[in-house]
A and B are shown apart, each in its own frame.
Chain A
Amino acid sequence: MKNKGTKKVKRGLAQMLKGGVIMDVTTPEQAIIAQAAGAVAVMALERVPADIRKEGGVARMADLEIVQRIMDAVTIPVMAKARIGHFVEAQVLQAMGVDFIDESEVLTPADDAYHIDKREFTVPFVCGARNLGEALRRISEGAAMIRTKGEAGSGNIVEAIRHLRQVNDDIRRLASLPTEELVSVARDLGSSIEIVRDVAKAGRLPVVMFVAGGVATPADAALCMQLGAEGIFVGSGIFKSSEPEKTAKAIVAATHFFDDPVKIMEASKSIGAPMAGLEISQIPKDQLLAGRGW
């Protein structure tokens, strides 16, 4: 008996991506460069986050023709973004056959109260989180993978590190609590007691967790990996750098050999200038993306 779109199969694809780098691309040519550099998947977009930030306006699901051309150009999995709560964009992306949907705060939210019920879909979803409560709410809604949010398009790793440390601290704290305290912790986290018990027992999320939002250099990627990330999303960091091909290869190498400083050093040499970065405090409050999602 065939059984498609099960929890195991959806979470399983994320498990296959572990230790890898997922790169934002806006054209088939960029997708081919990403694949040749060793990306484990690409995120098909109309604009990278740095441009969304610069140009403003409402950011929606990408032009489907671009997504299709990217799907035709590479053999690695292709992801695409839907707006938070926009389950029809997600239905359309599933009908196209994308391999993963990112319900993403980088796009303008379509619903200011509710996320998509992701359990209903055959295609797996990845969602952003800043802390354990947010991660567990997304997993309860059916997310098969979590990425820390960071601050997309900033080229500044500080928010990604804050969120990664926060999730890990939350999990460590949970794992150390006596079991009778877990019910009220679950209430505070806004999450079900079953999933809180699972996390406390396993000492980790029940799905794979990557880092996103601000990775710009090989050392940034290795820092996240050493802090316990299971893989890396790079948005603007590749194609907004001066040498995208070299930067892509270097970030892949630093992710695979994250615990080997000599290999990270070798990867970091002669790769041109990284993308320009933004000081988080200089970004107007209403333009911060990480606060989107509930």
Chain B
Amino acid sequence: MAKRPTIGVLSLQGDVEEHLHALRNADAKARGVKTAEDLEKVDGLVLPGGESTTLAIVLERFGLVKPLRELAARGTPIWGTCMGMIMMARSVVGSSQPTLGFLDIEVKRNAFGRQVESAELRLHIDGIEGKPFPGIFIRAPWIERAGRDAKILATVDDKGVMVRQNSFLGTSFHPELTNDVRVHRYFVEMVEQALVKG
């Protein structure tokens, strides 16, 4: 059996502990990462939920944009939840906020509305078997437009809320706030496959 992959969770701001916990339950080793050196030591990376405006400023200020781009260019799998998906998008509707552009999608921030519109919804996800997945949407974005290579895996009211493009994964919702590890397991498998390919 292949060795368990090590997956980093960017631990500057957001729900880091929840992701570490869920990744461990999904049979991965998990650690918080904060610096360029930390990023060298992981087989996969999660950008957690948090505030995208805040993270964009912090990544820029502490010189993490270039190391993240290099990580992505090496083919290391990266998954962004909510804020993380916004950071991975090509662009944000009505905003000049800088993003990393790993996913060929345009996202709409706070697309469902302010916090009072935040909700739990059941989702059918392509590639995840069994009962519907409990989607927790908190001031969540949706995918307004997706390029040809960006495959939408789940929708709410015809809007994309989960996307995969090669080694990159994005979700509008927060699997880390549930006890259901199927999406974490899906990502761990992406990382395992990338390791096998080398």
Q: Is the CB of A256 within 8 A of B116?
A: no
List, in ascending order, chain B residues with CB within 8 A of A35's CB. Answer: 53
List, in ascending order, chain B residues with CB within 8 A of A37's CB. Answer: 57
Tell me, yes or no, whether A289 is within 8 Å of chain B by CB: no
User: Which listed residue (A6, A15, A253) contacts B15, Cβ 8 A?
Assistant: A15
List, in ascending order, chain B residues with CB within 8 A of A98's CB. Answer: 114-115
Q: Is the CB of B49 within 8 A of A38?
A: no
Q: Is the CB of A253 within 8 A of B61?
A: yes
Of the listed stretches A16-24, A159-167, A235-243, A273-281, name the one at the interface; the rest are far from the partner chain. Answer: A16-24
Tell me, yes or no, whether B120 is within 8 Å of chain A by CB: yes
Tell me, yes or no, whether B13 is within 8 Å of chain A by CB: yes
Indicate the size class of the contact surface on chain B. 35 or more
In the complex, what distance in Å separates the CA atom of A75 from the CA atom of B53? 8
Q: Is the CB of B49 within 8 A of A16?
A: yes
Residue of A nearest to B118 (CB): A9
List, in ascending order, chain A residues with CB within 8 A of B57's CB. Answer: 36-38
Q: Beyond A4-B116, A97-B114, A256-B12, is A20–B50 a contact (Cβ under 8 Å)?
A: yes
Tell me, yes or no, whether B51 is within 8 Å of chain A by CB: yes
List, in ascending order, chain A residues with CB within 8 A of B120's CB. Answer: 2-3, 6, 8-9
List, in ascending order, chain A residues with CB within 8 A of B113's CB. Answer: 97
List, in ascending order, chain A residues with CB within 8 A of B162's CB. Answer: none
List, in ascending order, chain B residues with CB within 8 A of A182's CB. Answer: none
Nearest-CB distance from A208 to chain B (Å)?
9
Tell me, yes or no, whether B109 is within 8 Å of chain A by CB: yes
Q: Is the CB of B115 within 8 A of A19?
A: no
In the complex, what distance in Å separates the CA atom of A30 from the CA atom of B195? 48
Tell me, yes or no, whether B128 is within 8 Å of chain A by CB: no
Residue of A nearest to B18 (CB): A15
List, in ascending order, chain A residues with CB within 8 A of B180's CB. Answer: none
Q: Is the CB of A16 within 8 A of B51?
A: yes
Tell me, yes or no, whether A94 is within 8 Å of chain B by CB: yes
Residue of B nearest to A260 (CB): B34
Interface residues of B in 38-77 (CB under 8 A from A): 49-51, 53-54, 57-58, 61-62
Q: Is the CB of B13 within 8 A of A19?
A: yes
Tell me, yes or no, whether A212 is within 8 Å of chain B by CB: no
List, in ascending order, chain A residues with CB within 8 A of B118's CB. Answer: 4-5, 9-10, 12-13
In the complex, what distance in Å separates the CA atom of A6 from the CA atom of B62? 36
In the complex, what distance in Å separates the CA atom of A6 from the CA atom of B50? 19
Q: Is the CB of A9 within 8 A of B13?
A: no
Interface residues of A in 31-70 (CB under 8 A from B): 35-41
Among A17, A38, A94, find the residue whose CB has the most chain B CB atoms closer than 10 A.
A38
List, in ascending order, chain B residues with CB within 8 A of A253's CB. Answer: 61-62
Indicate the size class of the contact surface on chain A. 35 or more
Q: Is the CB of A16 within 8 A of B116?
A: no
Q: Beyond A20-B13, A20-B54, A99-B114, is A3–B49 a contact (Cβ under 8 Å)?
A: no
Q: Is the CB of A9 within 8 A of B50?
A: no
In the complex, what distance in Å separates the CA atom of A252 from the CA atom of B51? 13
Q: Is the CB of A76 within 8 A of B121?
A: no
Report A80-99 CB contacts with B as 1/0, cut-off 8 Å. 00000000000000100111
List, in ascending order, chain B residues with CB within 8 A of A252's CB. Answer: 54, 58
Q: Is the CB of A100 within 8 A of B82?
A: no
List, in ascending order, chain A residues with CB within 8 A of B169's CB. Answer: none
Among B57, B114, B118, B174, find the residue whose CB has the most chain A CB atoms closer than 10 A.
B118
User: Which listed residue (A5, A77, A257) contacts B139, Cβ 8 A?
Assistant: A77
Q: Is the CB of B115 within 8 A of A256?
A: no
List, in ascending order, chain A residues with CB within 8 A of B139's CB. Answer: 13, 16, 77, 99
List, in ascending order, chain A residues with CB within 8 A of B116's CB. Answer: 4-5, 94, 97, 99, 122-123
User: Which listed residue (B11, B16, B136) contacts A12, Cβ 8 A?
Assistant: B136
In the complex, what distance in Å separates the CA atom of A18 from the CA atom of B120? 21
List, in ascending order, chain A residues with CB within 8 A of B137's CB. Answer: 9
Report A145-160 CB contacts with B as 1/0, cut-off 8 Å. 0000000000000000
**Can you spell out 14 A-B residue pairs with CB atoms less than 8 angstroms apart?**
A2-B119, A3-B119, A4-B116, A9-B119, A9-B138, A13-B115, A13-B118, A15-B49, A16-B82, A18-B15, A19-B13, A39-B54, A99-B116, A256-B58
